[in-house]
Amino acid sequence: MPTRTPYSVRQQLVSCYGFKTKNGRLEIPIARGKRLSIPLTNHTLNVISQPGVEVRSFTLTLNRLCLSIARNVPTVECTSTVGVDRNLRNLTVGNDEGTRQYDLSETVRIASTTMRIVASFKRDDVRIRTDISSKHGRRRTARTGHILHNATKTIVERAVHRREAIVMEDIRGIRSLYRRGNGQGRAYRRKTNGWSFGEAQRQIEYKARWIGLPVIRLSRRETRGSSVTCPRCGERLQSDKRLERKLWCRKCRIVMDRDRVAAVNLAWWGRVRFARSRPPMEAQGGAVEAVKGNPTPTVIPGVDAPKLTHSTES
């Protein structure tokens, strides 16, 4: 594929040479013996002053300064895995030892309110209507991002405390299921197409990388049927309209929440995939790459077949 010439849609200065941070300011050389001094916020100073953090480059626009930083941290040696199942109204996290659900129903309410407000505009000027709609859209994004931040921060902190590698599934392309002509109503398609599953994954991954916690990505082929496969016996779970989001197993004779089932299966399949990816030379003490993207191997010992416990954390 031919390369494209990079371009900028707004005036900006990007550089990785000659600048330095001194006395709480960013100093940029603009001429011989002259430097432009820009004060930094307390939050920025706290981040770049952490051990191992290095400022690589900066981007300066008319009203914003962005610093590109890097941090070298050792990989957390994990002893288990935890699956993260992303849903429209919750994030379900857990393994065969227990599961937790983080409520995201507020993001659905925010999206519905924003769309109702935008639809109520009666202005004839398209430009003004577009500007006002963009303002409400940015507000919706900021509020949704804050809710996801609180949930993902807790997920990563608990995983680090328990030394559990995070396992996530690849659900890219899921929006193709909610197109016109697939049999869903307009309101349902609007709601599901506003699902921020990509933002939740982005936040979990960058927060995990910041502290050296490995994140295992499973392909769609590996996670097929994750929410309808019994984690005890492997049989396909049966649905019932009276049970809403709960499924039942004919063989085990138990009723399970499909979101919790998916989280347990993801954790188990991530453990199995990691164990199979370790080459034989690792047993001889050689340090090799076990999961693509991890600089050092993460030790996750083998475990017995998973079983879904009835006791869950709230």
pLDDT at 303: 36
Q: How many residues does the chain have?
A: 314
- State the DSSP H helix or E strand holding residue 108, giving kind and residue range, or none if neither: helix 105-119
pLDDT at 298: 39
Over the stretch 85-136, which tens digit does the pLDDT of each residue have? 999 899 999 998 999 999 999 999 999 999 889 888 887 777 888 888 899 9
Contact between residue 29 and residue 19 where contact means Cβ atoms under 8 Å apart? yes
More confident site: 178 or 69: 69
Give the other-Cβ count within 10 Å of 144's Cβ.
21
Task: Tell me: pLDDT of 42 over 90.
Answer: yes
- The reported pTM is 0.76
- State the DSSP H helix or E strand holding residue 153, giving kind and residue range, or none if neither: helix 126-162
pLDDT at 283: 41
Over the stretch 255-288, which tens digit does the pLDDT of each residue have? 888 899 999 999 999 988 766 655 543 443 433 3
Tell which residue, 152, 258, 136, has the closest CA to residue 205: 152
* Mean of the per-residue pLDDT values of the chain: 82
Q: Which of 9-13, 171-175, 208-212 reaches the highest mean pLDDT?
A: 208-212
DSSP 247-300: EE-TTT--EEEHHHHHHHHHHHHHHHHHHHHS-GGGGGT-----STT-SS----
Domains of the chain, CATH where assigned: 12-71 (no CATH), 80-284 (3.30.420)
pLDDT at 278: 53
pLDDT at 266: 94
